[in-house]
Amino acid sequence: MEEKVSNPQEKSLKTTMYVMIAIAVVLALVLAYVWYQKSSLVNELNVEKEALTEQMISLQNDYANLSSDNDMINAQLDSSREEVSQLIERIKKTEATNRIMIRKYEKELGTLRSIMRNYIAQIDSLNTLNHKLTADAAAARKEAAETRRQSEELSKAVESLTGQVAVGAILKGRAVRMDAYNASDKITDRSSRVVRLMTTLSLVENALAPKGPVRVYIRVKGPDGILLTSGDKHSFVYEGEPMMCSASREVDYQGEEVELSIYLNGIEDYVKGIYTVDAYTDGNLLGSAELMLR
C-alpha cells in the first residue's frame, strides 16, 4: 500500500519540475531576444550618431572654405563657424539613445546648411558685381583715354595748320563738366537716384570766330560704352562722318564767352560706373568730361 501512495507524489513532483524547466527555458529565450533587439537598436543609433557627426564635420569644412571681401559677411561667417563647432561638441557628448536631442541636432544641421547656401549666394552675387564694375571701369577708362588721345591729336593738328586766320576762327570750349541730378534737383552720385544729367561748358571768347547761332552737341556714353539718347534726334558732322548726339542746344554767339548747360532727360535707368561726355559743334570737338556714379 505504501508504494502505491508514493508513486503519484513522485510523478507530480517530476511534472512540476518539467514545467518549471520549460518556463525557465522560455524566459531565457525571451530575455535573449530582448537583449538582441536592444543591442541592435543601440548599434543603429550609434551608426546614426556617427553619420550625423560626419555630416557636421563636413559642413564645418565647407564653412572654413568660405571667404568674402565684405566685412559684414565675414563677421556672420565667423559666428556660424562657432555655432557649428559648438554643435559638434554637443553631439559628441550626447548619448546615441537620446533620440530627442539627436533629432534636434539634425534640424539644426539643416538650418546651418540653408544659412551656408545663402552665404554662397551672397558671395557669388558680390563677386559678380565686383567683376562687372571692374570691367566697366576699365572699359570707361580706356574709352576716356582714347577720347583724350583723339583730342590731343586734334589739338596738334590745329597747331600745325598754316594760316593764322583759319586757326583763330575755330570755336573752342573749356570747363566741360557733367553732373547728375535727382528728383529734388540736387546733385547726386547715386545711380539709383539719378533722373537727368547736365553738361556745362563755356564757348571761349574769340573775335575771329563766325558770329550768330551756334548749336552745341553732346554725346554721353554709359559704362558699357553705349551712346545714351533721348528725344533729341539731332545729328552733326565730325571729321567728315555723321554722328548722332545725346542732346543739343543752340546759343547766340557774338564772339564773347558764353556759358551754357545742356540737359539729358528721358533715360530710364542709370547703372554704376564711369560716364563720359564729349561736347561738339559742327566739325569741332569742344572738350570731354567724366562722371562716376556709385
26-47 pLDDT tens trace: 777 777 666 666 555 556 667 7
More confident residue, 185 or 98: 185
**Whether residue 220 has pLDDT greater than 50:** yes
| C-alpha R_g of the chain | 43
HSE of 145, CA atoms in CB hemisphere, 13 A: 6
CA torsion 34→40→44→45, rounded to 10°? 40
Q: At what angle do helices 71-93 and 2-64 cross, to 10 degrees?
A: 170
Q: Between 109 and 181, where is the model more confident?
A: 181
Q: Tell me the CATH number of domain 161-293, given options 2.60.40.3880, 3.30.1950.10, 3.40.190.10, 3.40.50.720.
A: 2.60.40.3880
Reference 219, options 288, 133, 164; nearest CA is 288
Q: What stretch(es) of the chain map to CATH 2.60.40.3880?
A: 161-293
Q: What is the pLDDT of residue 161?
A: 57
- CB burial readout 112-122, b (16+ within 10 A) else e: beebbeebeee
Q: What proportions of the chain, in percent to the nearest 5, are helix, strand and coil?
A: 55, 25, 25
Mean pLDDT of 4-14: 68
Burial 249-269 (b: 16+ CB within 10 A, else e): beeebeeeebebebebeebee
> In whole angstroms, what is the distance from residue 187 CA to residue 276 CA?
17
pLDDT of residue 36: 63
For residue 22, pLDDT beyond 50: yes
Average pLDDT of the segment spanning 76-80: 77
Give the CA angle between residues 55, 58, 61 to the nearest 5°. 155
d(CA 64, CA 92): 20
* Residue 3 clears pLDDT 50, i.e. is over it: no
Longest dimension (CA), the chain: 166
Give dist(CA 251, CA 203) in Å, integer: 10
pLDDT at residue 150, as a whole number: 84
What is the model's pLDDT at position 165?
52
Give me the residues paired with residue 277 across strands. 220, 289
Q: Which of 3-17, 30-44, 92-106, 254-268 has the lowest mean pLDDT?
A: 30-44
Average pLDDT, the chain: 82
Q: What is the pTM of this model?
A: 0.45
Tell me the three cell numbers of residue 144. 576716356
Q: Averaged over 103-114, what is the pLDDT?
A: 80
Report d(CA 233, CA 246) in Å as an integer. 8
